[in-house]
Chains A and B, each alone.
Chain A
Amino acid sequence: MRRRTSRLLAGLLLLVLVGAGALWWLTKPRPWDEAHWQGLGQPDLANGEVLFWAGGCTSCHAARGAEDDRRLVLSGGRVLKSPFGTFYPPNISPDDTAGIGGWTLAEFGNAMTRGVGRESEHLYPSFPYGSYARMTAKDINDLWGFLQTLPKSGNVAPPHDLAFPYDIRMALGGWKFLYFSDRPRVALDRADPKLARGQYLVEGPGHCGECHTPRNALGGFEPGRWLAGAPNPEGEGRIPDITPASKSIGSWSESDIASYLETGFTPDFDTVGGSMVEVQKNMAKLPASDREAIAAYLKALPQ
């Protein structure tokens, strides 16, 4: 009888260990193989700058209220409120100690596309790697090159201030297991280069869905509601639905959308507002063809 009990216990222990091992394996940080970041050559800085504006880096990583050239100083210092607590985007200027000047391309690339930090830790998806995951290695290399050309800052941002249990970094592996994906968000005609470019910009670097798509209680996107609008994470009001049947921009033409992204004016001469003001400033820096591609994608979304 006694032997039987100890056998049972040993069996249980084994089961727990296997379970824990499986859980660890399923949720461990997964950087790319080194080879993914090799042989990319000299970065194309002009393309890197396009990605910098498309990616909106400055909207979170520049100091609060920064205007004009100050938007190029990625010192951190903004405050990002969310239902899970307050995030403080870090200094990503090329400063060797306060910023990410000492990082390698692979470290930067794994943070951007896999949400894996320099210490192999999971990063919080407030940093929109769930979108950036779609970026090509070439584009990451070009963006990395461009970031090196920006001014350094010695500022150190405070650590994130999150409520339990969201402050447990390891649990992010579970979040990734459930919600992280680098697959296309919608099925579109990939043969049309304009649509393909629009899809890349919106779903990848532009990370539009991060605000415009509603989330469930765990912060995962609600299935089937891509870009269908969501509560404003910063408080009252809403982030509008931007699908083709929406009340907000459903009646806009492609050129209306492209023009809004360029000038900030809606077709009836209202203007951009809220957190979209920052986004529109960035979009205005893109080549016109990219704004047109974004507009084409938004109009082509399946209804």
Chain B
Amino acid sequence: MKIRAFALAAVLVGLGVTAVTAADEPQAVRQQLMKKVGQAAGALSGIAKGEKPYDAEIVKVSLTTISETVKVFPNHFPEGSETGMETEASPKIWEDMEDFKAKAAKLGSDADKFLAELPADQAGVGAALGVLGKDCGSCHESYRLKKD
């Protein structure tokens, strides 16, 4: 009986460990990072569309999030993480890692540019978002696959 309980506990711990590991897998990490960028872009879009009032602090925080996140983003594509966990990463990433990194860097440096000269009103945020969105698209064009 005791042995059984012990075995059960071991299994449960094992499951727990698996769960933690799953969230740490590069596929999951990079999906979370992209979500963060998406949320920041969403905050900027709210202002650009006039759904939210212009707020310099929100603009700054959002641009900072995009800049910092996208700088670490390409570090989460090690060999062996090409498939699994519903990844939408294209195999082309590993065929041309340099270009993939350059495209991520472009988004980072554009975000930094707008941080250095913060968009001052709704129209400015809209223009900035146009540039950043184009960066997102140009990378997704080559390196993201839709699965459904």
**A interface residue numbers (CB < 8 A to B):** 229, 232, 236-241, 247-248, 263-265, 268-275, 277-278, 280
Contact = CB atoms under 8 A, between A and B. Distances in A.
Nearest to B130: A263
B90 A237 contact: yes
A229 B148 contact: yes
Given A236-B91, A237-B90, A241-B148, A263 B42 contact: no
B140 A238 contact: no
Interface of B: 34, 38-39, 41-42, 45, 88, 90-91, 129-130, 133-134, 136-138, 140-141, 144-148
Contacts of B129: 263
A237 B147 CA distance: 5
A268 B138 contact: no
A263 B148 contact: no
A232 B91 CA distance: 14
B45 A265 contact: yes
A78 to B, nearest CB: 14
Contacts of B145: 232, 236-238, 273-274
Given A265-B41, A265-B45, A271 B136 contact: yes
Contact of B141 (A238, A248, A270, A274): A274
A235 to B, nearest CB: 8
30 contacts: A232-B146, A236-B145, A237-B88, A237-B90, A237-B145, A238-B147, A239-B146, A240-B146, A248-B148, A263-B45, A263-B130, A264-B133, A264-B134, A268-B42, A269-B38, A269-B41, A269-B45, A270-B34, A271-B133, A271-B140, A273-B137, A273-B140, A273-B145, A274-B140, A274-B145, A274-B146, A277-B138, A277-B140, A277-B141, A278-B141
A264 B138 CA distance: 11
A280 B133 CA distance: 12
Contacts of A232: 145-146
Contacts of A248: 146, 148
Contacts of B140: 271-274, 277
Contacts of A271: 133, 136-137, 140
A273 B147 CA distance: 12
A260 to B, nearest CB: 11
Contacts of B41: 265, 269
